Every structure is written in structure tokens, then in C-alpha cells.
Structure 1
């Protein structure tokens, strides 16, 4: 999840007045390259949260968890190597990072 344009804790003394680096699941690629930020690490850069793994009591009792590959999207556009200006080696990676949540289902029990 990342709604950095509307989250209170994403606001900063920056131009624009928010940073996608100050959100729950950071995505530095979303910050404008020509923005002005209080700290360089709050600006446009090759940095972000890449996955989620979590459980709750019901899942835990069955040794299960949920996982979701990222970077985060929805309500944001998925990360896309074909449209980003980020320069980094990405051999073997998909062009568009838009994965669905999955839940583990082990074949054995303890």
C-alpha cells in the first residue's frame, strides 16, 4: 500500500509537498526527478519496498501465510522497466511488476 500523495506522514517541506519515500511501502521511482527534497534520500531514486509477507492467528494455526511481490501498486501504477528512467541492471526480471497476492498451502501438517 502506498497513497503517498494523500498520507499525512508523506508530507514534507519539498516540491512537490510529499515524498513516496515517506510512505508505508516506499517507491522512490514515483518522485519527480526534478523535485526539491529536504534530504536526497526522499527524492527520485532506485529504491522501494519489494514484497509483503504476513499472517494472522487463523493462518498461523495452520502454518500458513500470505505473500505479495512488489513494488506496491494500487492505487499506483505498477513499476514498469519499459517506462521508468531508473537505470539499473534487471536481467531476468519481468518488465511489469504486477503480481497477485498468494497464500501458502503446505502439503503436510505437523
Structure 2
């Protein structure tokens, strides 16, 4: 199989928040793909190794409205949309830096129709 380069792809994701009983699932553009990394054979306690991951370079932000939120709860959720991607250090502000994570369309609450 051929490793896909780091690039924007269409993906189904979910958004949800406390006070809103339904999860919204929709298509957006995220960064995905392979980044070349190096793992030194000799590891010194004084050296630091940084792994590069496929992450956002240019983004725009979009906002969706969650249905049936409780009174007083802001139903809007803003998320980044990938315009371009880059192999770089993982930024927790915009990326899931976990080694193993849930599917991007995973919902803890009921899915909105």
C-alpha cells in the first residue's frame, strides 16, 4: 500500500457540548497523512527527539449550531477547517496529539438527525 502524503482530506466528524443533548455529525476538511520521522539509534538522556505529525498549516474557522440545547447554553461550536497541512510538531490547540484516540465521528450523546 502507498502511504498518503500529509494533506487535507474530507472526513466525517462530530461536535457536542455540555448542555446540548444531541451530537452533530457532518463532513469537513481535516489534515491526515504520512510524515517522515527519524528515530535515532543512540538515545542520550541529554538529547530530545521531536516527532513531526501531519497538522494544520492554514485554517479557516466555521461555526455550527447544536440542536435542543438547554436555555442559557450557547448552542454554537466553532471548529478549524483545514485549508493546507504541514508536517510539524503537534499543537494541542488545533490537533489531537494522542497516540490512540477515538474516531473523529464518535459521539457520547445521541446523534442529531
Is TM more than 0.5 here? no
What TM-score do the two structures reach when normalised by structure 1? 0.25
What TM-score do the two structures reach when normalised by structure 2? 0.25
Q: Relative contact order (alpha carbons < 8 A, sep ≥ 6): 1 or 2 greater?
A: 2
Structure having the larger proportion of residues in strand: 2
